[in-house]
Amino acid sequence: MIPTSYEDWVAGFRWRIPERYNIAVDVCDRWAAADPTRPAILDVDPAGRVETWSYAALAEASNRLANGLRAHGVRAGDRVAVLLPQSPAVVVAHLAIYKLGAVALPLAVVFGPEGLLHRLSDAGATAVVTHAGGVAKLATLRDALPGLALMLSTDGAGDGALGYADLLAAASADFAPVDTRADDPALMIYTSGTTGPPKGALHGHRVLLGHLPGFSMMHDFMPKPGDRMWTPADWAWAGGLLNALLPSLHHGVAVVARKAEKFDPEEAFRLMADLSVANAFVPPTALRMLRIVEDPRGRFDLRALRTLASAGEMLGPETFHWAKQALGLTINEAYGQTECNLVLASCSGLGVARAGSTGRPVPGHRVAVIRPDGQPAAVDETGQIAVARPDPVMFLRYWNDPEATERKFLGDWMTTGDQGRMDADGYVHFVGRDDDVITSSGYRIGPGEVEDCLLRHPAVALAAAIGKPDPVRTEIVKAFVVLRPGHAPSDALAAEIQAFVRTRLSAHEYPREIAFRASLPLTTTGKIIRRVLRDEA
């Protein structure tokens, strides 16, 4: 039943989290049993051809993969990495891992060898499902990852990997999913590493159920007739996976999958038109890029598009107003973080949408702006955005880091590290980070990981990474570098350092600008004062 007002919905909302729950059974097997031919994934190849995967096809393939993984020693609780671009194989891998009672470890294909090494090593991953590009990146890391016993490649056997299709063909299509509890670990997504190396945020199966109210807000109470989801966001990101893919499958709504090396705004509009996309989740950077396309409604048939949602960084009033004018749609903005996602949202269907605001607390979540002592801030007073526990969308703990888990909480408030203010109507306005995180193209980047990589270059003595405002990407990574003796600043050296970081971390983390400095501003304890550098940038 669709609520008639936000206030009534909040007042009457109650969580109904069952004791036993498995994500794969919920988003796939129950649909495969009730409606086997129902479309689940529409896989679009580079030529525009569409292959439709039914729920029954996903169920069979994931059963085969679960059996194959089990035959190779994967057991409940083991971490299994998924390193693939948008494709049916990503869905099959996640479903198989959940059915086994193992823990899915989604990894973005943009990660370089060093970014992958930290995550795979810290997680103790025993297997990975990837493609030829992933196999090539992992080839140099195998000696450093003795626990990684199995590599499966969707591009076939070779270079130490077994063939994904071969394994599926040899395995049984019958598999009884593990009877997991809702609190059993299911998924681990690594944070951006704002304080030290990236940390693994471990989530239980219940995390999907915790996302459903916010998902309903973002998409004006999906499912409705004709609904069809697409997002350009990587399904390895919490936004792509939990704000789009899995909740859509829960509701029986087909999801469009399309591999893309980079975001092309013309192609995005064409895809939405050709596939009759009704529901799009588009990060703010991509939305800003869509703005460069002239007369989208006149050039593309977007009549099916009924909801447009966004999250991951501050949207801003300008893009909000552009969507109303150019597309006739209100962008439903949402907020969360890897540890506790989708706790604030907008909903144009209930009139809960305001330019410059990330929305109001989603029913079922207690969100506040608090002072340093944990007390609620006054109306329009800037403080830290915090979420009260217990909450079904909240992480179980940080992997291998109980101290960091404890530091994340102030009493029963889970602190976010984000500054915001709440107005008199209950809308939360994002102000900015109270740490040094860099937000670029929807990715949250910890400066420590970038700086650590910079220091590995033989010419670099000291380095600091900050976010420089950018009209398209929100911020770009800018590095301030002090060179070792014997090295002189030059454009060629800057390009060499950029390439060094790009190939070792990822394409979204490398510094797009480098400034050479004789020294860096430091505190008396030797910490870099990034505020001075941000002001300079």
Q: Does domain 438-536 have CATH number 3.90.1150.10?
A: no
**Strand bridging mode 307-310 / 331-337:** parallel
Structure-token pair, residue 103? 């823990």
How far is Cα 177 from Cα 201, in angstroms, rounded to an integer? 24
Whether the ω angle into residue 225 lies within 30 degrees of 0, i.e. cis, is no
What local confidence, expressed as pLDDT, does residue 525 receive? 36
Please tell me what DSSP assigns to residue 313.
Answer: S
The alpha carbon of residue 191 and the mean position of all alpha carbons in its chain are separated, in whole angstroms, by 9
Helix or strand or coil: residue 421? strand
> What is the per-residue burial (b if ≥16 Cβ within 10 Å, else e) of 464-478?
bbbbbebeebbbbbb
Q: Quick check: 320 and 331 in contact, CB under 8 A?
A: yes
- Measured CA to CA in angstroms, residue 537 lies from 247, 468, 478, 507, 515 at distances of 40, 6, 8, 21, 10
How far is Cα 89 from Cα 133, in angstroms, rounded to an integer? 15
Hey, what CATH topology would domain 17-204 get?
Answer: Rossmann fold (3.40.50)
Helix or strand or coil: residue 417? strand
What local confidence, expressed as pLDDT, does residue 523 receive? 46
**H helix intervals, 171-220:** 206-218
Regions of the chain where pLDDT drops below 50: 194, 523-526
What local confidence, expressed as pLDDT, does residue 91 receive? 98
What local confidence, expressed as pLDDT, does residue 428 receive? 96
Let me know how many helices (H) and strands (E) the chain has, helices first. Answer: 19, 27
Average pLDDT, the chain: 93
CB within 8 Å of 159: residues ≥ 6 apart: 135, 136, 139
What local confidence, expressed as pLDDT, does residue 434 receive? 64
Q: Quick check: 68 and 80 in contact, CB under 8 A?
A: no
Q: Quick check: 239 and 287 in contact, CB under 8 A?
A: no
How far is Cα 18 from Cα 74, in angstroms, rounded to an integer? 26
Side-chain half-sphere exposure of 211, counting CA atoms within 13 A = 33
Q: What is the residue extent of each domain of the chain?
A: 17-204, 438-536
Q: Name the amino acid, one letter, at 4.
A: T
Q: Roughly what angle, to the nearest 10 degrees, separates helices 132-139 and 113-123?
A: 80
- Render pLDDT for 391-409 as a digit per residue (tens, 0 to 9): 999 999 999 999 999 999 9
Helix or strand or coil: residue 270? helix
